């Protein structure tokens, strides 16, 4: 019997990979190298700045190169720190590329699903970081395709990146494809607007929004097989 969804599109960060841990560790390494205060105390400020910058990126207001530097320029301005934002970004990306920790159960679930489904990884990310992380990742071999936004010049939730994904998959019927991710504004809105069923990975059990409205919601990756097989 064929699975309900022959193709599964996964988001990467905070869906399969523990990006929060990777980001924190890379930031701490960077700030220690700059000897700039207490990294743990400064991290929430960086998070707020970084989220705002990525929001502008996903909305198409800035490009990937601007993301890399702008977040550190704004951080250093707020701290009154005289440091080269470009050099800091370069060091940070090197640190970040070394961290590819998986979320609990991710490897087992991906391996299990790959036996009956075809898998594609679709990430809004920077090529240098994601290729380094995926290149040494134990789950990367289970994916037939890995699409990184910076490489293709489009980001979720834009339809263009889903067009690229569907071309890589050989243009399956949309009813045969499921989008799985943790971010409502990019993964769920993007998939929904493209006409796909979606799974919101919501480990924090946040309230279900009115819009975008995911087809399914899970709080643990182990819940996925029951939905897709």
In a 3-state reduction of DSSP, which class is residue 37?
coil
| Angstrom distances, CA of residue 94 to CA of 99, 152, 190 | 10, 21, 29
β-bridge partners, 216:
199
Residues 116, 226: Cα–Cα separation, whole Å? 13
Two tokens, residue 86: 């470009």
Nearest to 157 by CA among 181, 129, 176, 174: 181
Of 11, 182, 187, 197, catalytic: 11
Q: Give catalytic status of residue 11 as yes or no.
A: yes
Q: Which residues of 59-93 are buried (b: 16+ CB within 10 A; e: fewer)?
A: eeeeebeebbbbbbbbbbeeeebeeebeebbebbb
Q: Which residues are catalytic?
A: 11
């Amino acid at each position: 019997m064929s699975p309900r969804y022959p193709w599964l599109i996964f988001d990467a960060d905070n869906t399969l990979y523990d990006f929060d841990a990777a980001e924190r560790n890379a930031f701490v390494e960077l700030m220690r190298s700059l000897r700039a205060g207490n990294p743990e105390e400064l991290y929430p400020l960086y998070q707020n700045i970084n989220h705002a910058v990525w929001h502008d990126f996903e909305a198409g207001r800035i490009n990937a190169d601007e993301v890399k530097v702008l977040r550190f320029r704004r951080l250093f301005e707020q701290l009154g720190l005289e440091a080269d934002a470009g050099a800091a970004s370069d060091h940070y990306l090197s640190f970040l590329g070394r961290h590819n920790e998986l979320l609990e159960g991710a490897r087992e679930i991906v391996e299990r699903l790959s036996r009956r489904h075809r898998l594609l990884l679709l990430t809004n990310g920077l090529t240098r970081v994601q290729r380094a992380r995926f290149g040494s990742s134990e789950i990367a071999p289970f994916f037939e395709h890995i699409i990184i936004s910076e490489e293709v010049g489009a980001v979720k939730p834009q339809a263009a990146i889903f067009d690229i994904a569907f071309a890589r998959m050989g243009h399956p019927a949309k009813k045969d494809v499921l989008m799985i991710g943790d971010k409502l504004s990019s993964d769920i809105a993007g998939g929904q607007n493209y006409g796909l069923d979606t799974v919101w990975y919501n480990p924090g059990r946040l309230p279900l929004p009115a819009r975008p409205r995911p087809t399914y919601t899970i709080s643990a990756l182990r819940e996925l097989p029951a939905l897709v097989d």
